[in-house]
Amino acid sequence: MRKYTYTIFAIFTLIITIFYSCRNANNSKYITIGMVDGWAEDVAMTHVAKAILDEKGYHVIIQKASTDMILASMNNEDTDLFMGVWLPYTHATKVAKFPNLVELGTNYENGRIGLVIPDYVPINSIEQLNQFKDKFRHQIIGIEKGAGMTKATEQSIVDYQLDYKQINSSTIAMITELQNAIRNKEWIVVAGWKPHWMFGKMELKFLEDPKKSFGETEQIRTYSRKSFGKDHPELMSFFSKIYFDDDEMTDLVTEMEGSTNKEETAKEWVKKNSKLVNSWLKK
């Protein structure tokens, strides 16, 4: 009987130890931020946040995944933050699936998604695409299948009755196709968004969208898991204040695109923009 008593006590002690270890982990200096690799603005903002928090003694872990996986992980209290939520259109239905998420703040206010073509292509509206479907090979070059942008592109095909098929692969593949087409002065239409470094590197334009298949102006917002504020109250103000205007965002994504070391580039950008960063850190 004494043997069983000791066994039960040992199990109970182990459970209590695990409980307190998990609780202390939540309140530790470890922060996990979800990031969609290939999304220029999300990659840039996430690395900047990491650079700032690293300087403050935090250990930031970047978790690369799809939007759905990141939101689900936050909803389950496994990931702390995600800085790449596009609202009120692109990610609205995705966010609605997860009730245990908390909105912390808006990072950027002039986001836009839509169909993008090289500036030399002489059309201006999605309504004109069917007139030139052979020139575009009946294709819209899209990004990842699970992206909100992909869903909106499929909706535009329906709304405008386009005789086109969306070709999905990855953001990197889409940009490669776009660069190759421009190099050869070919006609191409892609699913694109702004802010993105490609608008600084290439002469591009959005096609007008009178049916609003892609919505209108978007905001990019930061969301956290439900208990993040309880576990890290000292960081709530910081993440609510992170904000980039057009010039700041363009400068950041352009510098990050040309970098082979994102972490070092982010650290340099933070140093160069210390006044802006300090405004985020003020309590």
Structure confidence by residue, pLDDT tens digits, 225-239: 999 999 999 999 999
Domain closes at, from 206, 227, 247: 206
Domain assignment present for residue 242? The answer is: yes
Residue 27 has a pLDDT of 54
Cis (ω within 30 of 0) for the bond into 88? Answer: yes
Domain CATH for 75 = 3.40.190.10
Structure confidence by residue, pLDDT tens digits, 197-216: 999 889 999 999 999 999 99
Nearest to 178 by CA among 121, 127, 259, 112: 121
Kind of pairing, strands 59-64 and 139-141?
unpaired
Same domain, 117 and 106: no
Q: In terms of residue numbers, what domain contains 65? A: 2-110+219-281
- 3 state SS of 78: coil
Residue 69's alpha-carbon distances to 125, 165, 168, 179, 229, in angstroms, are: 34, 26, 19, 30, 21
* pTM of the predicted model as reported, rounded to 2 decimal places: 0.79
Domain assignment present for residue 86? The answer is: yes
Same domain, 187 and 260: no
Domain assignment present for residue 212? The answer is: no
Per the structure, the count of domains in the chain is 2
The low-confidence residues of the chain, meaning pLDDT below 50, are: 1-26
Q: What are phi and psi of 245, to 5 degrees?
A: -85, 180
Domain closes at, from 206, 230, 262: 206
Domain assignment present for residue 85? The answer is: yes
The Cα–Cα gap between 46 and 120 comes to 34
